[in-house]
Amino acid sequence: MIDIADNQNLSDGELVSLSLENQHNFLYLVNRYRFKLLSYIKRLTNVSDDDAEDILQEVFIKVYLNLNDFNSDLKFSSWIYRITHNQVISSHRKLKARPEGHAIDIEDKSALNLAADIDIVAGTDLNILKQKIIKVLDGLERKYRDILILRFLEEKNYQEISDIIRKPQGTVASTINKAKQEFKKEFETQKIIL
């Protein structure tokens, strides 16, 4: 196993190679992505913390089993997000439940970015804005919600989203555009209710 201090300077690709040499090195990759992915899983689903941890464990096992399938043409983060995305879909198919985003947590910066990009009136209270965003995201069709989460909450660029959901960049762009329109429409509707 490599020294802990060294792993900070290593790229994901290098850690993959080291994990193939010694399975304990895989834990560095686990720690590097654990919280990001747990947060992503919770944003995509309404499962409990324990269930989210179980999904995450399945994700890391899949990543470990498929380490040799990773190639440097792709960013490792895109690859691991893709596995996570697929695992969330697969877990929910097994549970026969539709993913719902009740567990979405949003950072202040993400909420403001989303509001600015979609051109909605944010108001003064950031907490209310975040509540509204969560509620609106919850009400969106799955494909629109997922892509907005990737774009604004996970802050992925178009190429990364294309690699995660395995769609051409043009399709990603048009889906984001449509998702923003749907979001704005839903936001306007829910503004009256709140």
Partner 1 sequence: MDEKEFEQKLVDKIQADNLSPKPRWHFLLKNYVIWVAGLLALLTGALAVSVIIYLLRYNGWEMQEGTHKSLIEFFLLTLPYFWIVFSGIFIFILYYNLKHTKKGYRYPAYLIVLVVILASIILGGAFYSLGIGQKIDNILGERAPFYGQVFNRQITFWFNPDEGRLVGIISSEVEADNFDLVDPSGNVWKILGRRDELNHLPPDFLRLGEPVNIIGSVVAESQFKADVIRLLVPGRGFFSRPNIREGHEKCLRSNCQLLLPPPPPAMMIIK
**Interface ranges with partner 1 (CB under 8 A):** 19-20, 23-24, 27, 30-31, 34, 50, 53, 56-57, 60-61, 64-69, 71, 73, 162, 166-171
Give me the least distance between CB of 132 and partner 1, in Å please. Answer: 31
Of 115, 142, 119, nearest in space to 130 by CA:
115
Helices (H) and strands (E) in the chain, counts: 10, 0
Residue type, 101: G
Give me the least distance between CB of 18 and partner 1, in Å please. Answer: 12
167 touches 135 (CB < 8 A): no
Residue type, 158: Y
Q: Which is nearer to partner 1, 61 or 116 (CB)?
A: 61
Q: Which is nearer to partner 1, 22 or 189 (CB)?
A: 22
Q: Which is nearer to partner 1, 75 or 135 (CB)?
A: 75
- Distance between CA atoms of residues 127 and 141, nearest Å: 24
Give me the least distance between CB of 27 and partner 1, in Å please. Answer: 6
80 touches 31 (CB < 8 A): no
Q: Which is nearer to partner 1, 11 or 22 (CB)?
A: 22
